[in-house]
Structure 1
Amino acid sequence: MPEKEFLLDPQSIDLDNVLAGIEEIRKYNPQRYSMEQLTAIVYDDPDAGLVAGYKDLKESEFWVSGHMPGMPLMPGVMMCEAAAQLSTYQVQRHGALQAGMLGFGGLDKVRFRGIVRPGDRLVIVSKRLALRPRMMIRCAFQCFVEQNMVCEGELVGVSIPIESVKQDLTTNK
């Protein structure tokens, strides 16, 4: 079987070249507290639609005590969330989608290929596959621990009208 093609070779990513830390990421991503799934952005090529970042996993992650007690494993859905947040960062930072807010539209071809534990650095790479301004974006993503691919797939992000969300939040108190 042929070796899996990388979106960006994990060995080529300079993890010490932090382009954006958490404060810069927060300018473009609305998630906060336990839902923040990025620590830093280390590669950003908006023309190629290629971006890389990482999440340093701590023992204090909200899922550690319950998934699974005595042998905590990062839930696959959290790896997908990290990939979505990475993709959102790039799209919003560069105004590619021309949307006030981006939300999950779907996941395809997702495969989990390895274990991620507290103490690991999860490196995520995302590549834009398709873009319809003000509508949706499709990205391929790959997640790594060291040089090992632990997750891959495709995600769809959709434009969410901020006014509707804010109204729903105030109405549903």
Structure 2
Amino acid sequence: MSDPTRDAPSESDFPRPDKLLPHRAPFLLVDEIVELEPGERCVALWHLSGDENFFAGHFPGRPTLPGVLMVEAIAQTAGLAAASASSLEGKLALFGGIDKARFRRQVIPGDTLRLEATIDRLSARAVRASGTASADGQMACEASMMFLIADADAGA
């Protein structure tokens, strides 16, 4: 009899986010990749411990993850999907625009944000993507976004 957990991908089956994105602490908002279809889709997690600096000021007495950081985390997840495409090797996806961002639920210390992003269109010059952030199975944020493609080493 086969073990069904043996065929399931593990965290070690996916690269660390910092291997695909140029972001580093404290602005790398994605802790781990849990699903990845290169150039098509990515699911990642962001574990919010409550020790993050922004919680102290947003808001004292009622710490809440800023919505703009949820959008950035979705964008980073879309960036992971795009960066994993072989056609974009050596390239960098620069955030170019946000459309239809909606916030549905407060995210608080201790929550794990499940980030899902799908590449809707990928070309050598631009990427269109859509994504969501959820906590405890409830939608927290959704947005569509655009990225412009640049050489990763330009300006270095």
Q: TM-score, normalised by structure 2?
A: 0.86
Matched with 1:153 is 143
Matched with 2:37 is 45
User: 1:53-92 CA deviation, whole Å, 9 max, x = no partner?
Assistant: 1100022212111111111110111111111111111211
Matched with 1:20 is 14
- 1:162 Cα shift? 3.8
Matched with 1:139 is 129
AA paired with 2:31?
T
Matched with 1:9 is none
- 1:44 Cα shift? 1.3
Question: In the TM superposition, what are the counterparts of 1:23-102 in structure 2 within 5 Å?
Answer: 24-46=16-38, 49-98=40-89, 100-102=91-93
Distance 1:100 1:51 in 2: 18
Aligned residues: 147
AA paired with 2:50?
E
Identity %: 27
Q: CA RMSD in A?
A: 1.8
AA paired with 1:59?
G
Question: Does residue 155 of structure 2 align to residue 165 of structure 1?
Answer: yes
- 1:20 Cα shift? 3.2
Q: Which runs of 5+ in 2 are unaligned?
A: 1-8
Q: Aligned with 1:30: secondary structure?
A: coil
AA paired with 1:30?
P
Pick aligned residue for 2:97 from 99, 106, 130? 106
- 1:51 Cα shift? 1.3
- 1:131 Cα shift? 1.3
Return closer, same or farther for 1:124/1:58 CA change in 2, 3 Å cut-off.
same
Q: TM-score, normalised by structure 1?
A: 0.78
Write out the 4+ residue segments of structure 1 that deviate beyond 3 Å after TM superposition. Answer: 96-99, 161-165
